[in-house]
Chains A and B, each alone.
Chain A
Amino acid sequence: MTATWLRQRGPKHLLSMADLDRNDIEQILNLTESFAEVGERSIPRVPALRGKTIAWLFYEDSTRTRLSFETAAKRLSADTMNFSVGSSSVNKGESLRDTVETIDAMGIDGIVVRHGAAGAPHQVSQWSGAAVINAGDGWHQHPTQSLLDLYTARHHLEDLEGKHIAIVGDITHSRVARSNALGFSKMGAKVTLVAPPTLLPSALEGWPVEVTHDLDEILDDLDVCYLLRMQLERQGQAVVPSLREYHAEYGLTSARADRLSDHALIMHPGPMNRGVEIAGEVADRPAAVITEQVANGVSVRMAVLFLLLGSGLDVVDDQRAIA
């Protein structure tokens, strides 16, 4: 059985979880396991991407995702260059296309893009010859976040088929929710979105999800309770009356966390608002695998970079090649 995305000819990008099918995802997660092992070595570095150059094009502030990608690139021995938007020609009014063509002219193999506007990485992929990885575009997609979440959940639950994940919080403005709704459902899990109607996209027809406004009704059944960051400024935007009320109705309080199954995981993409979407104490329970998600992020991004920029396809069939 061949994976469609992995086997696709021509320039390859990772723009959306919609690009991947279940087999693609499984192959990426399997490769991630091998790279996780690299991370445990005393010198966690392999020469897999030696001579390759990756540019970071971050139009939105990001510390975690950026550091995670940089660590992944270093462990693969890639060269990296940073197109720092704040201090560059972008602030002088240069268009996205001109910026991309400038970077492209320097001869690079990959561009990792984060942008506040949905679809910007798609546009970059049309203007550059390099492989493009979406590191988060507006409210749209954040595929490597979803892959690291799937990896983390699969690591604990073994198989995601038939498992039940609730994604709780501000779905409308969340690229993580859009990515994970696709990712977890593609892996056979049941996905329930939990949010007040004011934080749900207006039309969910065709989404592979169920929807509830009552977190308590599904707590007992959950294998994963995935909490989204509640943007503090939302309380002024006619979507929730107050953060206090949000916490009471949709937050994972200690009482709610007590009702979760023993094996159930508590996940969060970070950064957390303790006391809003998650009670401070709950974030520190063993069931909360939030720092593990961060650690796995590096391994997943190594796998993605290697598949897009390296001789990745050869090793999908023979994973010993990178050992």
Chain B
Amino acid sequence: MSTDIAITNATIVDANGTRRADLRLENGVVVEMGDKLDGDTVIDADGLVVSPGFVDLHTHLREPGDEEAETIHSGSRGAALGGFTACVAMPNTAPAIDSIAVVQQIYDAASDALCEIVPSAAMTVGRAGEQLAPMAELVRAGVRIFTDDGAGLQDARLMRAALEYARGLNHLADGFSVVLAQHCEVEALAAGGVMHEGEWSSVLGMPGQPAEAEELMVMRDVALARLTGGRVHFQHVSTVGSVSMIRAAKEEGLAITAEATTHHFTLDHSACQTFDPAFKVHPPLRTDADIAAVKAGLLDGAIDAIATDHAPHTRQAKERPFLSAPPGMLGLETAFAVANTELGADIEQLVGLLSVNPARIAGIDDRHGGTIEVGRPANITILDLDEEWTVTGAAMASRSMNTPYEGRSVRGRVRHTFWNGDHVVNMGEATR
């Protein structure tokens, strides 16, 4: 016997803008919208915002390979608590997601997840940058995004081949243009840098990577997108130059999208003076000017989406010296609050950046993002824009606690999340 849930007095914000309506959810879909609806369970959303569930284009779930840091279950729990109903799982697991066997393993492990896990796959076998992964086979298995994230694909000829080959796979993907997502970092120029190259790396005596290490690959892949007509998504864009090149490429009409993380528009490289590896991340935290450019790019549409680059690491891994600690930060449980607090965007823009646009980029906008309307899957999050809270790594659902926002006061909290109608977060608590 099915039960239904009514969400009343809701302010709905979705791809169609803002409106007021009550909702009724049943059997995983929105079955009714109107006024003064009733249900077996009633959630009074007066003063709250009801949005399509968020979609993270960039999540490291660590399974398989490093389950002490995170599992698909623990990561999806953090995602649901952060308002996400879908996460694109990055393929830099061990083994890497570069075959349908590992894709199937991800689907299997996701059977008890609290949100949809969308596997991306490596562009090259073993993410080694030498030989293309079996892309057609992977697209048949449901993969829509390819990336060697964690590293950029250094070989320009291979990147060209990947873009051209991907163009021939659309018929296997229901006409969707397969995406090649790039972690832009020219290794020869990054040269082992562990932070941004600039005044702080100079003072602290740590090897830096210049903004140009990212920008040269953005420049190259804009050119290759032009050459091949392939679709490039730029991951975690972090510099003034990258944002302006992407903006110009979009104006030119190239098939380019981009994401930025919350940490790249809220934290700068001076944080590294603590030598706390919580602040070590690739691309590195950069300058105030870069922060301003990333914010401007998110606000004017040069950058399409906020992604988390959620990258859990165990306590012992982050207690190494800064130089040798692994890069990466948690993000799923703070992304909305940090963006709501710091970006200066209105809620319609935030819903676009966190839900509507990333759902479209990932090719899952038939069930995520978009609009809240009768007949669509009930992937919904209910937000309190005003609640203030203090970030505490130890209190997170993630198995790791490497948040760079420890102790920071933020505004905005996820009250409820529904994934296919399943009430996975209720009053700010995960239900399983």
Contacts and interface: CB of A to CB of B under 8 A. Distances in A.
B340 interface: no
A69 interface: no
Contacts of B207: 139
A122 interface: yes
B202 interface: yes
A118 B198 contact: no
B191 to A, nearest CB: 9
A206 interface: yes
B68 to A, nearest CB: 14
Contact of A178 (B199, B203, B322): B203
A118 B322 contact: yes
A139 B206 contact: yes
Contact of B205 (A123, A178, A202): A178
Contacts of A138: 205-206, 323
B206 A140 contact: yes
A118 B197 contact: no
12 contacts: A95-B320, A97-B316, A98-B316, A115-B321, A118-B206, A123-B319, A138-B323, A139-B205, A178-B205, A201-B202, A202-B197, A202-B198
Interface in A204-238: 204-207
Interface of B: 197-199, 201-208, 210, 274-275, 316, 319-324
A201 B201 contact: yes
Size bin of chain A's contact surface: 20 to 34
Contacts of B321: 96, 115, 117-120, 123
A188 interface: no
B361 to A, nearest CB: 35
Interface string A115-148: 1111110110000000000000111110000000
A137 B203 CA distance: 13
Nearest to A124: B321
B205 A141 contact: yes
A120 B277 CA distance: 11
A203 interface: yes
Nearest to B199: A203
A202 B206 CA distance: 11
A137 B199 CA distance: 19
A175 B203 CA distance: 10
A186 to B, nearest CB: 15
Contacts of A201: 201-203
Contacts of A118: 204-206, 275, 321-323
Given A115-B321, A118-B322, A203 B202 contact: yes
Interface in A166-215: 175, 178, 201-207
Given A96-B321, A141-B205, A178-B205, A122 B275 contact: yes
B34 to A, nearest CB: 58
Nearest to B200: A203
